[in-house]
Each structure stands twice: as C-alpha cells, then as structure tokens.
A and B are shown apart, each in its own frame.
Chain A
C-alpha cells in the first residue's frame, strides 16, 4: 500500500477537523464534565488527555473491527463493555508497572469511561467506518479534546496558583513583588466554564463557519 493511499485527503480531514471546525468540546459541547473537573492543574490535564487518546483510538479500532458482527440492538452495551475493559486493563497495568502515574490518574479512570466523546465517536464513526479511518478519527478527536483541556488548565493553573506544571513561574519572574496576587477564583469549578466560554468566543470570532445563520 502506497503512502498516498494510507493518508488520503479525507484521512487528513479526520485528523484536523476535530481540532477546530468540529471540536468535541467547544463545538459539540461533549466531555464538558471532565474538562471542568480536572483542569485546575496542567499535569492531570495532560495525563487525562493521553489516557483518552489511548482509550479512544483503541476502542475505535476494536469496535470498527467488530462493526459487522455487533447486533444493533445491544450495540451501546457492547461499546460500553469495550471502553470499560480497556480502561480497567490500562489501570491494572499502570498500577503494576508505573505506580506513580496510576496514582496521578486515580480519579480520572472512572471519568474516562463516562466521557461522552468516546461513546459518541464509537457510535457515530467507528460503527460505520474502517479500522484505519476510525483510528485516525480517534486520534483527531482526542487531540481536539486534549488541546482544549491543556489550554484551560494552562490559564487556570497560571492565574489561580501562579504555577505551571507545578513550577512556580510567577514567583520566579518576580511579579509578586509588584503587588500581584493569585486569583483564587480560577481554581474553583465555575471559572473552568468561563474559560471554556472564552475559548469558544475567540474560536467563533475567528472561524466564521461556526456561526449559525438566522
């Protein structure tokens, strides 16, 4: 198989579309719950993004491989079983071999299973497309989800705690000496919603395709 066949124009769109035009968080407004819960700091947000990346792309491939065998009446249950199994497997392996990462993930493992983006992609895409396309779709959507998560966490950690990835950057820059104070509001959940709202605002300002005509 030539490289061109592997990566057609359509395939590229699968990867890039969810980053902006069809972003799962800011356009489809899915997966908001986890975007609010774990964006106080950068580190858990990144770990969450990577975990979703793994679970979503593998689950997409598995469901896509089985798509002609799954009875449509129980397809949602089958999808859920695939996701839950993957998450448990990942959790067990992490606990055994990279214990520190598994502690970091603790709360989020459950959140991955209930992340609407994963079920949404399995149901809307993997059930009707080939494994390779589903894999790319999984990657694209996790990146679309991940970059929003990281962006929100970046601003919340920087403005709320004055740190980035645990490093006290503002203290090192010496801004506290000029009377600057951390904004405690940023670490509370409502500010995640406001931050996501601002991102949506900027995105719609720049991307005219997203504005509904009426």
Chain B
C-alpha cells in the first residue's frame, strides 16, 4: 500500500480526527458531573476557609457550609438586593460586564459566638491568569476576619504562594477603612508592610505582579459592596461617608497607597 497517496493521507487524517474527537467528547460528557461537583465543593470549602475553618476537607464541606452560611445574597452596585442564586453566579462572567450591570454575590455567615461575617468573593488578574479568593469582614464592616486566595496558573514557588497560609494569615485583623473613615482597602506591599500598619501586608518576593494583582482585586471588588454593607452596619461606629472622598479614592488608586504610607 502506498502510504503517501493523497487519498490515503486524507482518509487517515479524517479517521484519526473523528476517533480522537469522539473519544475526547465522550470523556468530557462522562466526567463533567464529577468535575462540576468537585468545583462546587471546593467553592464551599474556600468560603468556609475564609471564616476560619481551614482544616475542612473538600469532600466534607457540604454540611458545615449549610450550617454556617445563613444567607446568600445577590446585589447590584447600588446595594439593592436582587433575586437569584448567589452561589451560581460566575464572577469571571460578571467581571466582563459593565460595572453597572454586574451582579454581586455576597455570603453571610453566623459564627458560633453569634457574630455575623460578610464574605465577599474576589476575582482579579494575576501574572498568567485569573486569581480569586474570599475575604470575610466582621460585623463592623471594617476589620478583616479572614481571607483566602487561589489562582489558576501563577508561577509555582512565587506568585502561586498566595494560596499559602503564611500569605493569608496577616490579613486577619487588618482594616479596610482608615482613621478618617475613608475606604483604603488593603495593600500587598513589595518590600514588606510597615510595622504596625493596619492596611497593608507583606508581598511575596519574586511574585510582585501577582501580589499587585491581589491588591487591585481586593480594592476593586470590596468597594462595590460598601453601599449595601454600610446600610446594614450596626448603628454604633457607623462611618460618616463623605461622597467626594470616596469618589476621589476610587478614581486615583495611587492616592490610596499614599494615604496608607
């Protein structure tokens, strides 16, 4: 048989493509339910980790999730509550829309000591691909209760370390408002956070772009939730929000790091 006849080459290629396509499509169809289940459980595990349940395994995150997460809310950027399932919102899709059209999922948890936590899902850009995470704010809508981050394709040993406890732990207790009640978010600082700083944490050596991505992600996501959260804040210590100040900080991200320093 002449292996170099055009007709043979074309039929060989066609059969190969059909066989491979069928094989891959079949695997994909058969395995998708398992994969989706893993992703769902991991999301629940991540949300629980942000409120301190760091030891929970992915496979057993279902039960504690339904116990501690008491509300799943969908918001618009003006802080109005919308209909819909917060858990099913894909932030990756939402972020591609205009900010005015975005739906914002918010999770509320009730901890064992009776205090509430507001868990804000984050999503932003790392060096190679998306990074995401969850940041839990205490009832005062100021102090961070916990934060967890994850990534898809950051550099192992460098940017990828954002999913490690040593990076996430320092976020605890940091505040997103400064003394003047301006929203300053939390900065991941190259060269190390100043001692005693309430608004910055250490960056990762060699992972500057991923670290900056985390800074930007926290700032960019949390600010949209503030109208709703401030409405629901306990009456004491309610910050007086000066509209012009908030707008200024939003326009100029550099200002924040200055305020922070």
Whether B157 lies near A78 (C-beta < 8 A) is no
Whether B24 lies near A85 (C-beta < 8 A) is yes
Cα distance, A157 to B28, chains bound together (Å): 36
Interface flag for A38 (CB, 8 Å): yes
When C-beta atoms are compared, the residue in chain B nearest to A99 turns out to be B38
Number of A interface residues in the complex (CB < 8 A): 32
B112 to chain A, nearest CB (A): 28
Scoring A residues 59 to 91 as 1 if CB is less than 8 Å from chain B, else 0, what string do you get? 000000000011111100110010001001100
Interface flag for A12 (CB, 8 Å): no
Whether B158 lies near A72 (C-beta < 8 A) is no
- Interface positions of B from 150 to 170, Cβ below 8 Å from A: 152-153, 155-158
- Most A CB contacts (10 A, CB to CB) among B31, B58, B157 go to B157
Specify which chain A residues have a CB less than 8 angstroms from the CB of B81 in the assembled complex.
none
Q: Within the complex, which residue of A69, A81, A95 is in contact with B35, where a contact is CB–CB below 8 Å?
A: A95
Specify which chain B residues have a CB less than 8 angstroms from the CB of A40 in the assembled complex.
155-158
Q: Within the complex, which residue of B24, B155, B205 is in contact with A88, where a contact is CB–CB below 8 Å?
A: B24
Specify which chain B residues have a CB less than 8 angstroms from the CB of A188 in the assembled complex.
206
Question: Contacts A40-B156, A99-B58, A187-B158: A89 and B24 contacting too (C-beta < 8 A)?
Answer: yes
Interface flag for A97 (CB, 8 Å): yes
Whether B31 lies near A95 (C-beta < 8 A) is yes
Scoring B residues 12 to 39 as 1 if CB is less than 8 Å from chain A, else 0, what string do you get? 1100110010011001100100110010
Specify which chain A residues have a CB less than 8 angstroms from the CB of B8 in the assembled complex.
71
Q: Within the complex, which residue of B12, B17, B42 is in contact with A70, where a contact is CB–CB below 8 Å?
A: B12
Specify which chain B residues have a CB less than 8 angstroms from the CB of A78 in the assembled complex.
12, 16
Whether A107 lies near B156 (C-beta < 8 A) is yes
B211 to chain A, nearest CB (A): 14
Scoring B residues 129 to 153 as 1 if CB is less than 8 Å from chain A, else 0, what string do you get? 0000000000000000000000011
Specify which chain B residues have a CB less than 8 angstroms from the CB of A72 in the assembled complex.
3-4
Cα distance, A100 to B152, chains bound together (Å): 12
Question: Contacts A71-B9, A72-B4: A89 and B58 contacting too (C-beta < 8 A)?
Answer: no
Scoring B residues 164 to 207 as 1 if CB is less than 8 Å from chain A, else 0, what string do you get? 00000000000000000000000000000000000000000110
Whether A73 lies near B4 (C-beta < 8 A) is yes
Specify which chain A residues have a CB less than 8 angstroms from the CB of B20 in the assembled complex.
81, 85
Q: Within the complex, which residue of B4, B34, B128, B155 is in contact with A97, where a contact is CB–CB below 8 Å?
A: B34
Question: Contacts A73-B4, A89-B24: A161 and B153 contacting too (C-beta < 8 A)?
Answer: no
Interface flag for A184 (CB, 8 Å): yes
Whether A106 lies near B16 (C-beta < 8 A) is no
Specify which chain A residues have a CB less than 8 angstroms from the CB of B157 in the assembled complex.
40-41, 44, 157, 160-161, 187
B57 to chain A, nearest CB (A): 10
A46 to chain B, nearest CB (A): 12
- Interface positions of A from 80 to 135, Cβ below 8 Å from B: 81, 85, 88-89, 92-93, 95-97, 99-100, 106-107
Q: List 9 A-B pairs, Cβ < 8 Å.
A: A88-B24, A89-B27, A96-B34, A96-B38, A100-B58, A107-B156, A157-B157, A187-B205, A188-B206
